[in-house]
Amino acid sequence: MTAPLTETEPSLTPVPAGTDHQTKGDRFTSFDPADFHPPVSKDEDWRFTPLRRLGGLQDGSVESTGRASVQVDFSGDDASSATKRVFAEELATDDERLGRAGAPVDYAAAYAWSQTSSANYVRVARGAALDEPVRITVGGAGEGVASYSTLVVELEEQAEAVVVLRYEGSGKHSDNVEFVVGDGARLTCVVLEDWNRDAIHLSNSHIQVGRDATVRHTYAAFGGEVVRAVPHVRFTAPGGDAELLGLYFADAGQYFEQRLLVDHSEKNCRSNVLYKGALQGEITAGSTDKRTPDARTAWIGDVLIRPDATGTDTYEKNNNLLLTPGARADSVPNLEIQTGEITGAGHAATVGRFDDEQMFYLRSRGIPETTAKMLIVRGFFTDVIRRIPLASVREQLEQKIEQELHDTVL
């Protein structure tokens, strides 16, 4: 795929390969995979990822390739209407509307870019306030088959929309996703990793937040064998507000990783990050089947406050609940502050088992142990689910949690 012909903004200016970066926001970027080396376990950004389980998706050595299906649905417009508000089209690979929110920062993302012959582009017109969600569904190419895609969603100035991006089916999929949120626009986005159990997914996303724009981004991972999501948020003007919410539930044999970067380079912007995960499942005692390892997750949250980002208000938190022995969650929050003139900044992370006080309270009221644990897990995720504006999505996630709890005896 040819790199888009765009003028590079100062905050995205590449630096020579091999340079020691002062901040994670100044990393080398390129659309050409030849500018990177394939990831290895010694790389800081890949040290948690089980590279051998990616089946060659990370380095282009996968044997079979196909085409992912990308479907865009919006029922709120009359196709023949002069007041059409949502536009969907395929873009040529050198279109200037691609690459504005960010460029690949590693080999896997650049390789995925190079393997796509076109990009799906969805635009919400200036000033439009959608009363129905835009639904985008990405389907895998089939079990063991690799596929790649590029997606750009743009909200023009003062637009308001809810976008539901759902991944489903089987296969090995790697993609690049951009959200370009114009000045004063309001985007609510829900990303659902609803893959079949065999799927492998490497996702790289960039979110560009304009002046006084608002982004509410919710990420949910339940399906897939190995799923790695790398969202980057960048403010391009003062007054932006970004909330990143996430929930994930990993069973034995599943690995979920989220690696976030929130880059504050403008004045008076706000960000709030809250991710919650539950893990259950372990290898049966005496088992020699290494294909079904214990449940495993990794969450890395980087927040960067640059020297000019005065008035920044930011907080990030990640909580993990281990439901069975053997499950493992790594949680690494990082906060880099380059100016003292901020409103507030902080981070927190926890990894633990059931709260003894909660269990005692419920058991003392005659609630059976298994039921008590289910109530605690439901309550654990409530902080995230209640913030999702779509009732249908809230109900779907609640059903997913119920299914997870009933599939395994706590």
Task: Give residue limits of the domains in the chain.
Answer: 10-354
Residue 147 has a pLDDT of 96
Residue 215 CA to residue 93 CA, distance in Å, equals: 27
Residue 20 has a pLDDT of 44
Residue 235 CA to residue 215 CA, distance in Å, equals: 11
* Both tokens assigned to 89: 């089209």
Residue 4 has a pLDDT of 62
Distances from the Cα of 327 to the Cα of 20, 48, 229, 278, 296, angstroms: 35, 14, 20, 9, 6
* Both tokens assigned to 46: 């890949």
Give the three-state DSSP class for 244.
Answer: strand
Residue 376 has a pLDDT of 85
Residue 363 has a pLDDT of 78
Give the three-state DSSP class for 387.
Answer: coil
Residue 297 CA to residue 299 CA, distance in Å, equals: 7
Residue 63, Cβ neighbours under 10 Å: how many? 9
Q: Which helix (H) or strand (E) holds 407?
A: helix 391-407
Residue 182 CA to residue 195 CA, distance in Å, equals: 31
Residue 364 CA to residue 305 CA, distance in Å, equals: 47
Task: Select from 230, 217, 281, 278 the least CA-distant residue to 253.
Answer: 281
Per-residue pLDDT of the chain (410 residues; tens, 9 = 90+): 666 644 334 344 444 444 444 577 788 999 999 999 999 999 999 999 999 999 999 999 998 888 899 999 998 676 556 568 999 999 998 899 999 999 999 999 999 999 998 999 999 999 999 999 999 999 999 999 999 999 999 999 999 999 999 999 999 999 999 999 999 999 999 999 999 999 999 999 999 999 999 999 999 999 999 999 999 999 999 999 999 999 999 999 999 999 999 999 999 999 999 999 999 986 555 444 455 679 999 999 999 999 999 999 999 999 999 998 889 999 999 999 999 999 999 999 999 987 777 777 777 878 887 788 888 888 899 999 999 989 999 999 999 999 888 776 45
Q: Which helix (H) or strand (E) holds 71?
A: strand 69-73
**End-to-end Cα, the chain, rounded Å:** 48
Residue 6 has a pLDDT of 41
Task: Select from 181, 171, 114 the least CA-distant residue to 139.
Answer: 171
